[in-house]
Amino acid sequence: MKLNDIEQKIKSIRDQINRHNHLYYISNSPEISDIEYDILFRSLLSLEEKFPEFITSDSPSQRISSAVSSEFKQFEHMSPMYSLANCFSEKEFLDWYKRTLDLSGYGQLDLVSEVKFDGLAVSMIYEKGIFVRGSTRGNGIIGEDVTNNLRTIKTIPMVLMGNVPETLEVRGEVIFPKSKFDQFNESRKTEGLSLYSNPRNLAAGSLRQLDSKVTAERSLDIFVYGVGYSIGNDLKTQWNVLNYLKSLGFKVSNLSSLFVKPQEVIDFYNTLVDSISNEDFSADGVVVKVNNLEVQQQLGVVGKDPRWAIAYKFPSIKSVTKLKNIELSVGRTGRISPVAILEPVNIGGAIVRQASLHNFDYIVNNDLKINDLVVVERAGDVIPKVVSFVPEGRKGVEFEWIFPEECPSCGSKIIRLEGESAHLCISSSCPAQLKRLIEHFVSKPAMNIEGIGIKQISILIDNHIIYNQADLFDLDSKKDEIINLNGFGEKRFNNWQKSIEESKKVAFSRVLVALGIPHVGLETAEIISRNFKSINNLIAASELDLVSLPSIGPKVAYSIQNYFSNEDNKYLVNQLISTGVRFDNSTDNMVVDSKLHGLKFAITGSFDNYNRADLVSIIKDLGGIVSSSVSKTTNYLITGDNPGSKLDFAKSNEVKIISIKEFIELTL
């Protein structure tokens, strides 16, 4: 094949991938399966690897930069990114409209109403339809160059469609979806990392990562709403701008609307106030713009605020009320959080009786006391939280709250791990966390008991059939009761029994994971099982014995010792031992499947239906070896979405690269 033909083939594949990206991420109407897309993408990577002279900056393969920045360069915007004046009531909005009419000399002005997203404003520059640079808003004149990070956001097109201008600067707001915010924070909590307080801060923090691979791992999204600078088109109205941006392949909010009367804007605003919490993004108001771009130019700017636009903010989200008491809430992982009990107060249309206090340090650092008047904030869809106390409200009847020493759910001793702000209840019999503890116990990375999920667990607990994890191994004594429950039956029961019996053969390390000891994941559990051999040796181990092992520091050692110092936990372990669950490294009665015996695997990227722990468990159960890095001795690199630098090394060192589908085929 001639080089010219190869170049055209690469271009054709890129065009197909860009089209399918738009159908998937913008139009929500994919035409091909994920596997077909993966094959198409891999064919592009293969050709670009063989013919690197044809790699271009707009190729879908170049979304993630391989370089880590030491700092962000400053970048001057092609035209200023102005802030907006605010209004907070119907009267203030109508006053703005009247002033705008008077200044324009018109008797009526069409208005475009758009959602005011609560994210991070950015500017993106395209030359001849190709994305070349992106930056944050900064001070409105100069922003930070975050081009590589913006490339990782899949809803930002690298190449525009349709009638593209010579030069185009597009404005938009980068957001983090609300639906993924709690999940992201939960994973950080598991890793002992600090939490983000809201999706807006997470979006900003993600976009300002010096390593774009970190940004790529975040679920960032964007909505575009304007053109800052353009050469090669003749747009007349803001409504034309929004539709033109859609035609180029950008993601534009479908909530934007064109109105001819100010009352229509007010009705639109009131509708959003009631419904915005149902959307998968954070917003704090409505942006109203004069539709005619020529009139916008005529009206101009005063200070840093355009006269032709205003932010009509959602209702006040702060109020002052009395802190009546502080109670403790026990989460599903044993995390104990203080909750403010408030004098009921109306905040943004909702009656608030409780609010978050984060942790004990937050109470101390903010000098909060019982009977204080406190400022409570409710950011629309976000859980209300106490922001501060009102100093002038203190009358001498306020008193300090003392953090209890016992769990309010089970009475066990509350612990605080070294270097962490959170307090924990680690009792395996704590009613407040029992359902989730058992859900973790039966999960695939742990005991791998199939067919039992949180729904079935809840029914078994609510009907007083099981009281802890060990009771799962004695279901036969309550068979008649179980098979008569709604939705259950003898076939399901028999399948459970078979899976439960098989679970007794899982490795000691997986049993340790199943116990749910804080900070003990599969890798740590394997180190422990190899070195201590049995549960009795582990219980008898000193802190020095533990920290002398690789990857086990004081925090993990403290967590392990606290777990086994709890009598309920030791009782659970003894119960499990009596049922036949393995708590040592003996190979008696083990069935070894060696399909992957001696093969060395590494993993990169993310997978829709598997997490990393699932894959590691499968590989090790089949006799394979898993490494956290790729070397020349690695047999296979399993790749998912957004693969990291491991992929580059594998390519350059002839390590076999396989998809998740190809890996599953290896195991069959």
- Return the closest-CA partner of residue 58 out of 44, 68, 69: 44
Q: Are 558 and 453 in contact (CB under 8 A)?
A: no
Question: Which one is catalytic: 73, 116, 479, 651?
Answer: 116
| Torsion angles phi and psi, residue 635, rounded to 5 | -85, -40
- Return the closest-CA partner of residue 380 out of 240, 276, 271, 269: 276
Q: Are 244 and 233 in contact (CB under 8 A)?
A: yes
Q: Are 655 and 649 in contact (CB under 8 A)?
A: yes
CB atoms within 10 A of CB 90: 15
Helix (H) or strand (E) holding 601: strand 600-604
Active site residue 116: yes
Helix (H) or strand (E) holding 573: helix 567-579
Q: Distance (Å, rounded) from C-alpha 663 to C-alpha 284?
A: 46
**SS3 label, residue 99:** helix
CB atoms within 10 A of CB 532: 21
Q: Are 180 and 37 in contact (CB under 8 A)?
A: no
Q: Distance (Å, rounded) from C-alpha 10 to C-alpha 16?
A: 10
Q: Distance (Å, rounded) from C-alpha 138 to C-alpha 143?
A: 4
Angle 199-207/181-190 helices, nearest 10 degrees?
A: 70
Q: What is the residue type of 489?
A: G
**SS3 label, residue 125:** strand
Q: Distance (Å, rounded) from C-alpha 306 to C-alpha 137?
A: 16
Q: Distance (Å, rounded) from C-alpha 148 to C-alpha 134?
A: 8
- Return the closest-CA partner of residue 525 out of 541, 539, 507, 542: 507
Active site residues: 116
